[in-house]
Amino acid sequence: MTLGFSQASGALGCTEACVFDDTACVPKSTNADLTTLEVGRAPLIPVFSAGTTSYTMTVPMLVTELSVTATAADSYASVSIAPTQPMTLSLGDNPVTVTVTAESGEQNVYSVLVTQTATPDFESPNLGTLKYVPGGTFQRDPTPTNLSTVSAFWMSRYEITRAQWASVTGWSDPSDIDASSGTGDPVQMMSWYDAIAFCNKLSLLEGLTPVYVVSGVDFSTLTYSQIPATDDATWNAATVNWAAEGYRLPTEMEWMWAAMGADTTSPGATNTTGFARAFAGSTGSNVIDDYAWYMTNSSGKTHPAGTKIPNELGLFDLSGNVYERVWDWHGTYPTGPVTDYPGPASGTHGEVRGGSWRLNASYCEVAIRIMDPQHSRSNDVGFRVVRR
């Protein structure tokens, strides 16, 4: 039984100051803070902290609904969110108010301004633009019945740069500087382990749910020196939460679909010829030197990300500069149609795609697959990220 109690008189009665818990007068809590404020689809700016009450976030026009959720720091406090969640978004500003009422009646009001843009692209405060890649179906090799269907996703416009690696992880840049022209170049010396660690670090930094789980690894405290430099069974057994909204490596099928320009030449149609392209952005009449850094024009090193012409989707360096790691283990392609194929369940090597500064033009072909050990670190291997 809980009764109002007056400290002044010591008698039972009504008061706003305290409650009686059968043994003593306990002051009512004045804590009207939040411990969590989450939106999920995009990062809050600034990153949430209980003492900050005003936030913004930006989503592309393709995100038409989202849910704001919040947890009070005190179990006796109540939380109300307006408008009712989930909320339908409209173009422009969509304000959200989160009111926390303490047991004592004191209140804190948190505001989130959700801006829906007129573009299908996502903006990351740490990476810049992630280009929208529509879903669709394509022929992945010369056999007409070998069709791959992929769902829509967003892909980073550029390969992850040396500067981005350092700013997101807080770690030193491991790139071979003799094979680089500066920190705006793609990061290299990237193992598959390094790449998935970066993805989870970036997700945590932006308040998104991490995609990857490695047994016994806390990515919030992981240091670079803790990432294995040799083949490691625990890291090889990393699992994926495909439903998470955080960052990840593209699958091999997603990478190939993006490199061939998706269905931009004929929206909605199956792309039956893109797999045979000589490089990402190739029309059959343009020249690779305008689109890719490779052995002939690279002068033996990487170059700043995005200095060549992008492909039809606005994605730079999908051919050349550095090889790009994908999620998949290497294996023989399945036969027939597949949907959102994630690659074999296990293997001895991973895949890298797209060619690099140190190899000739033939390695830039969209269909070329190269095996590489998951733990290997080479000065012509980097990565880019995607999310859904």
pLDDT digits (tens, 9 = 90+) for 172-212: 999 999 999 999 999 999 999 999 999 999 999 998 999 99
Tell me what pLDDT residue 24 has.
72
Residue 10: what pLDDT? 41
Average pLDDT over the chain, rounded to an integer: 94
What is the identity of the amino acid at 264? T
Q: Average pLDDT of 257-280?
A: 97
pLDDT in tens, 76-90: 999 999 999 999 999
Architecture of the domain whose range is 34-116 = Sandwich (2.60)
Of the candidates 304, 302, 318, 308, the one whose C-alpha atom is nearest the C-alpha of residue 386 is 318
Two structure tokens written together for 20: 């009686």
**Could you read off the pLDDT of 117-174 as tens digits, one per residue?**
999 999 999 999 999 999 999 999 999 999 999 999 999 999 999 999 999 999 999 9
The rounded distance, in Å, linking the Cα atoms of 354 and 370 is 9
pLDDT of residue 34: 97
2, 76 in Cβ contact below 8 A?
Answer: no
Give me the sheet containing 338-339, strands edge to edge: 136-139, 147-150, 338-339
In this prediction, residue 332 carries a pLDDT of 95
Q: What pLDDT, on a 0 to 100 scale, did the predictor assign at position 50?
A: 87
Structural contact between residues 373 and 350, judged by C-beta atoms closer than 8 angstroms:
yes
Contact 292, 321 (CB under 8 A): yes
Secondary structure (3-state) at 162:
helix
Locate CATH 2.60.40 in the chain. 34-116
- State how far the alpha carbon of 52 is from the alpha carbons of 42, 210, 228, 376, in Å: 18, 24, 38, 42
Q: How confident is the model at residue 21 (pLDDT cuts 50, 70, 90)?
A: low
Average pLDDT over residues 309-334: 98
Identify the bridge partners of residue 130 per DSSP, sorted by sequence position: 122, 156
pLDDT tier, 62 (very low <50, low <70, confident <90, very high otherwise): very high
Q: What pTM does this model have?
A: 0.90
Report domain 122-387's class: alpha beta
* Residue 327 identity (one-letter amino acid): W
31: pLDDT strictly greater than 50 = yes
Burial of 342 (0-12, 13-18, 19+ CB in 10 A): middle
What's the whole-number mean pLDDT along residues 9-25? 55
Tokens at residue 343, please? Answer: 């690659």
Residue 158 near residue 306 (C-beta atoms within 8 A)? yes
Q: Is the predicted pLDDT of residue 368 greater than 70, yes or no?
A: yes
pLDDT of residue 204: 95
How many Cα atoms sit within 13 Å of 170 on the Cβ side? 9
According to DSSP, residue 295 is labeled T
- Interval 300-308 mean pLDDT: 98
On the question of pLDDT at 23 being above 90, the answer is no
Collapsing DSSP states into helix, strand and coil, what is residue 4? strand
Average the pLDDT over 32-55 and give the result. 92
| pLDDT classification of 26: cutoffs 50, 70, 90 | confident
Residues pairing with 132 in the sheet: 154
Residues 214-234, mean pLDDT to the nearest whole number: 98
Neighbouring residues of 17: CB distance < 8 A, sequence distance ≥ 6: 7, 27, 28, 104
> What is the mean pLDDT of the segment spanning 4-13?
41
Q: Name which residue leads in pLDDT, 100 or 22.
A: 100
Alpha carbons 255 and 290: distance in angstroms, whole number: 21
For the chain, give every residue range classified as CATH 3.90.1580.10: 122-387
The pLDDT of residue 379 is above 60: yes
**Total Cβ atoms within 10 A of residue 188:** 30
Q: Render the burial of 258-269: b for 16+ CB within 10 Å, e for the rest.
A: bbbbbbeeeeee
